[in-house]
Amino acid sequence: MQNKNYYNVIVVGGGISGSALVFTLAKYTNIKNIALFEKYDTIASLNSNAKGNSQTLHCGDIETNYTLEKAIKTNKTATMVENYGKLYGYENKYMFKIPKMALGVGKEEVKFIKKRYKKFKKAFPYMEYWDKEKLAQIEPALLKGRDKNEEIAAMGTTKRWSAIDFGEIAKSFVKNAQKENDNLDIYLGKEVEHIKKLGDKFELMVAGEHYYADYVVVNAGAHSLLLAHQMGHGEDYSCLPVGGSFYYSKIDSLKSKVYTIQNPKLPFAAIHGDPDIVHSNTIRFGPTAIVLPNLERYHGSHFLDFLETLAPSKEVMEVFYDLMHDDDIREYAIKNFLYEVPGIRGKLFAKEVQKIVPSIGEDDIEFAEGIGGLRPQVIDKKAKKLFLGEAKIATGEGIVFNMTPSPGATSCLGNAYKDTQLICEFLGEKFKKKKFNRELVEPKEYLNKETS
Ligand SMILES: Cc1cc2nc3c(=O)[nH]c(=O)nc-3n(C[C@H](O)[C@H](O)[C@H](O)COP(=O)(O)OP(=O)(O)OC[C@H]3O[C@@H](n4cnc5c(N)ncnc54)[C@H](O)[C@@H]3O)c2cc1C
């Protein structure tokens, strides 16, 4: 096709998922013409920005909602991001070795941590068991003001690159991709309004202009499902946008990332404390979780898009009904709604924080305005269930849609690998897996043993 607006692959969305894919395509394939469309003027201005997420590389070692098998898988994709950072020298620039731990409070949780530590130590040999005395040395704020009879223990490490500025990493993916491929076009401030299948190509409508591609990957956060529905794909899915807010601590309380024990029904819902890597001397507590009628946090004009993406139906109502009939989930939803209500939220949230730092009071925290993104949680209408992780609609027709709630930033390169594989198979192009594995995966084998 002879057209200046024609590409082999178009990627929609310049968050960390879209940027990681563009990097992988540019560096590890021979695909010639690639374009990325991002609706805002900068790469990673929403959820992938350091303001939007918790800045944690989720390796599976402190995420207590993961089984050992899931943790091992997660660790492999997380390690790709670490290896990428090392390849380009981003240590202590965009990635930081902040100590991290999963903290158990009270007899039952301490028992849980002990058992989990034993089970995990072979696969995660760098993890250590930290009892009360050790914690008093590593993180004294956990002990200050705590009832001396209350048991606490943690499994943690000081050895991993645990904190990542995913926004800067996303920008670096684009910059490094441009060095690899002269035919990569980055369109900023360009929203893809509509996608249409046209014979064996796709036509994308962007600000009155038409662009064409053999293959399209939509990595547009909550908008991915909107664009899918417009094309008649993903009709069995609905999107529930869940906003997450943070509180800043005004006192210098923690030096580590302190995660608490997750309720398996509510993964990534338990709050944690994290030293903020872009605001020095600031500790963040959160995130909260609140369902919002919007596809983007802090941008107000998407209510109709929200309705279109939620696609309310009998099945969706049944999922809500089931969720609200679970005591834990109902209590969690009410509590988290109240954490957003000015006037009462500080006092209520301080109680939540006291599980981690007992001496913190209402006056020591403040709601972090404008901080925190939105997780596009997907409802599977057929199974009448909330998807607890990422969702992919691989149509097999040359277009893929990705929805990436937590820990989507950590799995950006793992997802890019999968999509690159789909694209190369479809277009008959070569994926240089050996090079990808050597640079980003080694010394461990990842995903499959195939080399090329
Ligand atoms: C409170 C919170 C805490 C989190 N903490 C962590 C964490 O610690 N670790 C972790 O790994 N993950 C975390 N996550 C999840 C993580 O932030 C996301 O999974 C990740 O940022 C998703 O990246 P993405 O590129 O898929 O989406 P996004 O970052 O949302 O990017 C999508 C992009 O698409 C663009 N776009 C949308 N529609 C269009 C269109 N029509 N045309 C062109 N462009 C379009 C948007 O402008 C945006 O830039 C957290 C999320 C939240 C909300």
Identify the pLDDT of residue 280.
85
Could you identify the residue written with the tokens 């035919």? Answer: 183
Choice between 162 and 333, residue whose per-residue pLDDT is larger: 162
The single-letter code of the amino acid at 296 is E
Whether the pLDDT of residue 445 is over 60: the answer is no
Token reading at 236: 């069995």
Amino acid 329: pLDDT: 87
- Whether 444 has a pLDDT exceeding 70, the answer reads no
Ligand 1 centroid, distance to 416 Cα (angstroms): 14
Query: Helix (H, G, I), strand (E, B), or coil: what is residue 232?
Result: coil
Give pTM, 2 decimals: 0.95
Sequence-distant (≥ 6) Cβ neighbours of residue 230 within 8 angstroms: 194, 195, 308
Band the pLDDT of 447: cuts 50, 70, 90: very low
Position 240: which residue type?
L
pLDDT computed for residue 269 by the predictor: 78
Q: How far is the CA of 214 from the centre of ligand 1 (A)?
A: 25
Atom number of ligand 1 nearest to Cα 244: 1
Mutate to test the pocket of ligand 1, among 12, 23, 48 (most ligand atoms within 8 A of CB): 48
Supply angle C-alpha 291, 296, 301, rounded to 5.
Answer: 100
Q: With contact defined as beta carbons under 8 Å apart, do 206 and 57 qualify?
A: no
Q: Three-class SS of residue 185?
A: strand
Which of 219, 375, 406, 415 for a ligand 1 pocket mutation test, highest count of atoms within 8 Å of Cβ?
406
Name which of 15-24, 30-39, 75-84, 246-255 the model is least confident about.
Answer: 246-255
Flag the least confident range among 42-56, 163-177, 294-308, 336-350: 294-308
Rounded CA-CA distance 323/71 in Å is: 26
Q: Which atom of ligand 1 is found nearest the CA of 13?
A: 34
Cα-to-centroid distance, 19 and ligand 1 (Å): 11
| Cα 225 to averaged position of ligand 1 atoms, centre (Å) | 14
For ligand 1, atom 45, the nearest C-alpha belongs to 13
Residue type, 113: I
Take atom 14 of ligand 1 and give the residue whose Cα is closest: 406
Give the pLDDT score at 446.
39
Closest C-alpha residue for ligand 1 atom 27: 221
Please spell the DSSP secondary structure of 383-437, one letter per residue: TTEE--S-EEEE-SSSEEEEE--TTTTTTHHHHHHHHHHHHHHHHTPPB-HHHHI
Instruction: Return the SS3 of 73.
Output: helix
Q: How many percent of the chain have pLDDT more than 70? A: 97
Beta bridge partners, 258, equal 101, 273
pLDDT at residue 166 in the model = 98
228-240: pLDDT as tens digits = 999 999 999 999 8
Q: What is the distance in A from the centroid of ligand 1 to the CA of 373? A: 8
pLDDT at 219: 98
Q: Please tell me the residue having the least CA distance from ligand 1 atom 19.
A: 408
pLDDT band at 387 (very low <50, low <70, confident <90, very high): confident
| Long-range contact pairs involving 358-364 (C-beta distance under 8 Å, separation at least 24) | 358/142, 358/144, 358/145, 358/146, 358/147, 359/141, 359/144, 359/145, 360/249, 360/251, 360/253, 363/250, 364/249, 364/250, 364/251, 364/253
Query: Over the stretch 264-319, which tens digit does the pLDDT of each residue have?
Result: 777 677 899 999 999 988 999 999 999 888 899 888 667 888 888 888 889 888 98
Task: Return the pLDDT at 266.
Answer: 76
Q: Which residues contact 354 (CB under 8 A, 6 or more apart)?
A: 360
Give the atom of ligand 1 at the shortest distance from the alpha carbon of 405: 19
Mean pLDDT of the chain, nearest integer: 93
Q: What are phi and psi of 401, to 5 degrees?
A: -120, 130
Q: Kindly tell me if the per-residue pLDDT of 388 is higher than 80.
A: no
pLDDT at residue 203, as a whole number: 98
Residue of the CA atom closest to atom 25 of ligand 1: 15
What is the mean pLDDT of the segment spanning 334-343? 92
Q: Kindly give the pairing relationship between strand 237-243 and strand 209-218.
A: unpaired
Q: What is the position in ligand 1's atom list of the atom closest to the CA of 409? A: 11
Q: How far is the CA of 10 from the centre of ligand 1 (A)?
A: 18
| Residues having CB within 6 Å of any atom of ligand 1 | 12-18, 37-40, 45-48, 52-56, 58, 191-192, 219-221, 223, 244, 287, 372-375, 404-410
The domain limits of the chain are: 236-389
How many A from CA of 16 to the centre of ligand 1?
7
| Ligand 1 atom nearest residue 18's Cα | 25
Q: What is the number of the ligand 1 atom nearest to the C-alpha of 287?
A: 1
Q: Regarding predicted confidence, which is higher, 112 or 303?
A: 112
Quote the ligand 1 centre to 132 CA distance (angstroms). 37
β partners of residue 7 = 213
Output the CA 220–ligand 1 centroid distance in Å: 8
Peptide bond into 358 cis (omega under 30): no
pLDDT at 452 over 50: no
Cα of 81 vs centre of ligand 1, distance in Å, is: 16
* pLDDT value of position 32: 94
Nearest residue CA, atom 38 of ligand 1? 220
Asked whether the predicted pLDDT for residue 80 surpasses 70, the reply is: yes
Specify the residue with its C-alpha closest to ligand 1, atom 35: 13
Interval between CA 49 and ligand 1 midpoint (Å): 8
Report CA(27)–ligand 1 centroid distance (Å).
23
Q: How many residues does the chain have?
A: 452
Contact 27, 178 (CB under 8 A): no
